[in-house]
Amino acid sequence: MSNELISQNKPELSLEQLQARLEQLERQLQIHAIDIEGISKRVPDSNIISPNFLKRAFTVWGHYVVAGFIIAIPMVCITMALALLTGLFSQY
């Protein structure tokens, strides 16, 4: 009974069609395997993608601190330059 339902819902494929489909799937698998290898070569070796939570947390914190320095140092330099310039001009 269940075989009749299956054969009514899906037409039976010939052996040649199944083999052709298998070859097609194997080619797709090889292409995807090559893609995965290429992607894994492009992914940086960083602790951001580490499975260890503490490594990830400290890596993100380190990036945050460095980004803060990158933003703060030019702002401090500009502020100091403006303070020096206004201080020099206020003497006259």
**What average pLDDT is seen over the chain?**
83
Percent of the chain with pLDDT over 90: 39
pLDDT of residue 9 exceeding 70: no
pTM of the model as a whole: 0.49
Distance between CA atoms of 10 and 6, rounded to whole angstroms? 6
Could you tell me which residues come within 8 angstroms of residue 47 by beta carbon, excluding any fewer than 6 positions away? 55, 56, 58, 59
pLDDT at residue number 87: 84
* Domain range annotation of the chain: 1-43, 47-92
